[in-house]
Amino acid sequence: MRQIGGELGVRYAIQDSVQPGADRLRVNAQLIDAETGAYLWAERYDKPRADLFAIQDEITNRLARARGVELVAAESRRTDSKRPEDLDAIDLCLRGHAI
């Protein structure tokens, strides 16, 4: 995942797998930090195959909500652990917020 993330220039990626059954469909989805390879979130969806479009809509909506929450948390952790490069710029930002 690190190599793919580097080639695509992305920080995060969703990896999934689909396992079709006779009357059910199982989808596994994981949100991965492409820089470290760490799994940030994972969920399994196991649904009847009766209405594929309804399944697709549900999975897409749930992934979008979960991804948004997890990405905000991951970016917060990443910026908290990263040392600032330009302390003067941070000082000016803090002064601007104080006004």
Per-residue confidence (pLDDT) for residue 5, from 0 to 100: 85
Q: Which stretches within 1-51 are classed as H helix?
A: 2-8
> Is this structure's pTM higher than 0.75?
no
User: Each residue of 11-21: pLDDT tens digit?
Assistant: 888 888 999 99
Instruction: Specify the DSSP element, H or E, that contains 81.
Output: helix 52-81
Domain ranges, ordered by start, for the chain: 2-98
39-83: pLDDT as tens digits = 888 889 888 888 888 888 888 888 787 777 777 777 777 666 666
CA 72, chain centre distance (Å):
9
pLDDT of residue 43: 87
